[in-house]
A and B are shown apart, each in its own frame.
Chain A
Amino acid sequence: MSLTIEVNNNRMFAEQGDTILDVLNRNGMSVPTLCHMKGLIPTGSCRMCVVEVHGRRNLVTACSEPVCDGMQISTHSARVVESRKTIVELLLSNHPDDCLYCERNGNCELQKLSEDLNVRERRISGQKNNYKLDVSSSSIVRDPAKCILCGRCVRVCEEIEAVSAIEFVGRGSKTFIDTSFNHGLNLSSCVNCGQCIMVCPTGALKEKSHLTETKDYLSNPDKVTVIQYAPSISVSLAEEFGIPAGTNIIGKMNAALRRIGFNYVFDTSFSADLTIMEEASELVERVKKGENLPMITSCCPGWVKYAEGFHHDMIPNLSSCKSPQQMMGAIIKSYFAETEGIDPEKIYSVSVMPCTAKKFEQQREEMTHNGISDVDAVLTTRELARLIRLHGIDIQNLEPEIADSPLGTRSSAGKIFGASGGVMEAAIRTAHYMITGKEMVKFQVTAVRGFSGRKEAKVKVGELEVGVAVVSGLKNAEILLDEIRKGRNDIHFVEVMACPGGCINGGGQPIGAQEDAIKARMATLYDIDEKDAIKVSHKNPYIIELYSKFPGKPSGTKATNCFIHITKKGRN
């Protein structure tokens, strides 16, 4: 049944079950929100979205109030605006006054609200809480002093990621967000996905920056600096420079990285191709032997830590492959160093990732061999943008350049890793070739594409019907794993990404991107795949060359095993 409501004297149509906010947004009107998260059950706790409803004594929260027929609403009456302004003034009353030094200066929801509501003086002076910065995590820095208790991080951690590392602790004015028993984040169940950073309206959550050491090594003449970038960086970096979402600026990015001073510029999509070679052959082996199925991908470090902490029983099912970042790191300091005659200890290897968990992964002990770590520093997309700005580079006006050979050459299968479903699709393409000896007639596996948190398909590979499932957001992974434990055996291969939609929506990506922007990034990745000549990892000429230099078929190669595979173990 359609309902009619009146908003600021304009008639609007609504459906039963809509909230006031739903109707307003559909009609291009907005009221400010803080605690509201699209797709999750509203809490109505921040009260920023209050509106006046005719006949109601109190203001109501638009995010949680269902509409009813004939409702008369005013969204910006003097009373409403005054109420919102007071809320912001109260939030500011105990907020640190260090905007100029804040990570989120210019990109802060609280700052914007205070600007929009014309807060021009400190009317209320509250007692400031004295919280310590939590720098214990290798990925995420928490500053409870800047927290406004909107609870979005708590909810994303619980409802999207099924991790619940953080929670409201204490009561009343002493409430703050913390881990269980006030431990540092490093000792909590946190998987470092960084989705909490993405939803934080202020600077209370940010990545552990590796920018300073990167700058130091860039100006160290004794070091050879090498940089690799993940498949999704070239389609998301643009937004940091005001270029429309989804624009692929890979060429300009290569040029910028060289201007910054990196000696070699490589594309992690190359090692994504390598991952596919290894993972696909591992899959073929397992399907033949019927062992440890379904096989589950291991390229997402957030997912790997989640599996280690929450689903120990599934660890044998994880692929033994390292992630593309770590494979590339290992290859740079072995194969590449050897070929170029560079002492591996002189190499400073930086990676740009859409991800905060990659910072954790880089520091795992399995990722260091004989005192040499595979990767030395991990920058997020945001940090790379900062580095580019710091060097005064006008990225828009750079002439595109290509990445260095050989580790900068990729197939488009490696590129689509950036989107949820991409690893699956790339692996199917190569597994098909490995099993049947023939290429697929049509490379696109559309059933595993798209933004949905859960995708399943049955793929015909020769005589074999392979069941595949793609999940993003660890809550979806948890649901799928429970089904598998309960006896589902029609799935052979599972791709898990911790961040909803995959790396294009990772915890290191530009803050404040809307769903449209993330979809645009995804569309660009598939567009690149569409136009590329080499669509399968096993046709990447440099992958073929790599395997010819390290003889043996994938997965069985002794020389490669030590640095591109690891054994995963459980943790408490």
Chain B
Amino acid sequence: MKSIVQEILENYPNAGRDSLIPILQHVQEKMGFLSEESVVEVGKYLQLPASKIFGVATFYNQFRFTQPGKYHVQVCRGTACHVLGSSTVLIEIEKQLKAKAGQTTKDKLFSLEVVACIGACGLAPVISINGEFHAKVTSESIKSIIDEYRNREE
């Protein structure tokens, strides 16, 4: 059976190293993240060392290397959100989830990402969970928001 990555690579016949980023984007779109196996497979196809691909991928913020959780939490750290205290919001979320930015919780329920601006400055500080926006969050309100998603699972 063909792996997902192999299917993706069929769309890039005779690809060279200049196709690396489009391929990685494609892999992430299908799989949600870049696994070690997929990086090795892309490397074999493009004849690039895995370390090189990892180097390129870590340079860009858009790539992630852990499986996203069921709920993907994006914390806006744009200017408006920063001014209104998004740094304490982030600390509180990290505390609640017991995961750092870029990580996924052990139960695979939540993953946390820091983003520069999600274009909702009027709602600052704002977080987005699977595309649902939560406006004017405070470190006090975080727990109840997270709990709400946790309760959906029970």
Contacts and interface: CB of A to CB of B under 8 A. Distances in A.
A180 B39 contact: yes
Interface string A181-192: 100000011000
Given A181-B36, A181-B39, A181-B65, A171 B51 contact: no
B49 A167 contact: yes
B120 interface: no
Contacts of A179: 51
B142 to A, nearest CB: 26
B65 A168 contact: no
A242 interface: no
Nearest to A172: B59
A189 B49 contact: yes
Contacts of B58: 169-171
Interface in A142-174: 158, 163-171
Contacts of B39: 180-181
Contacts of A169: 54-55, 58
B1 to A, nearest CB: 21
B52 interface: yes
A179 B49 CA distance: 11
B8 interface: no
B59 A171 contact: yes
Given A180-B39, A181-B36, A181-B65, A165 B51 contact: yes
Contact of B52 (A164, A170, A171, A188): A164
B59 A164 contact: no
Interface in B25-41: 36, 39
Interface in A290-317: none
A170 B65 contact: no
A163 B59 CA distance: 21
B23 interface: no
A474 to B, nearest CB: 13
Interface in B52-81: 52-55, 58-61, 65
A188 B59 contact: no
A571 B85 CA distance: 51
A170 B59 contact: yes
B146 interface: no
A196 B52 CA distance: 16
B99 interface: no
A209 to B, nearest CB: 26
A98 B82 CA distance: 37
A332 to B, nearest CB: 38
Contacts of B51: 164-167, 179-180, 188-189
Contact of B49 (A158, A168, A170): A158
A165 B52 CA distance: 9
A163 B51 CA distance: 10
Contacts of B65: 181
Contacts of A167: 49, 51-52, 54-55
Interface in A174-230: 179-181, 188-189
B87 to A, nearest CB: 16
Nearest to A157: B51
Contacts of A166: 51
Contacts of B50: 180-181, 189
Given A170-B59, A181-B36, A181-B39, A164 B49 contact: yes
A205 to B, nearest CB: 15
B50 to A, nearest CB: 4
A166 B58 CA distance: 13
A164 B53 CA distance: 11
Contacts of B55: 167-169
B54 A180 contact: yes
A378 B135 CA distance: 62
- Name which of B53, B54, B61 has the most chain A CB atoms within 10 A of its CB: B54
Contact of A181 (B49, B52, B54, B60): B54
A149 to B, nearest CB: 12
Contacts of A189: 49-51
B58 to A, nearest CB: 5
Nearest to B55: A167
A84 B32 CA distance: 45
A188 B39 CA distance: 14
Interface string B103-133: 0000000000000000000000000000000
Interface of A: 158, 163-171, 179-181, 188-189
12 contacts: A158-B52, A164-B52, A165-B51, A167-B54, A168-B55, A168-B59, A169-B55, A170-B59, A171-B60, A179-B51, A180-B51, A189-B49
Nearest first, the 5 closest Cβ-Cβ pairs linking A and B are A164-B49, A167-B55, A167-B51, A180-B50, A180-B51
Given A158-B49, A158-B52, A164-B52, 6 more contacts: A167-B52, A169-B58, A179-B51, A181-B65, A189-B49, A189-B51
